[in-house]
Amino acid sequence: MMYPYMTLNDQTEIVHSEMKPDGRVKVYIERPDEKVCFCHATCWLPEYKWEDIYNFSDVDIAKFQEIIESSAHLIMEFSHIGKPAKHKPDKNMDYSNKKNYEEVLTS
């Protein structure tokens, strides 16, 4: 299931999944486009791995990377809402740092 996170001024939608059993969260981005219907891309947290990029420029992806990096801690926390979590987020943990997040998963 995907959950809405943010809508940008250009109608770009950013949504995220629940936390997967391996501790990852899928962030999906799409924007309506007259020629190709939708531009889209997927970014996996906490490793910020991009895949399935379609019709977004490098500049677009850099902007999305900055948005996701600045709010990854919120996305990771929100990924637990609505379902019981095996690993609950620590409010004192910096989830933008992958090493710190891996410590939570292994504790």
pLDDT tens string 22-48: 999 999 999 999 999 999 999 999 999
What one-letter code names the amino acid at 66? E
Phi first, then psi, for residue 2 (nearest 5°) are -110, 145
Locate the domains of the chain by residue range: 2-106
What does pTM read for this prediction?
0.74
Residue whose token pair is 């486009």: 33
Residues of the chain falling short of pLDDT 50: 84-88, 101-102, 104-107
pLDDT given for residue 93 in this prediction? 54
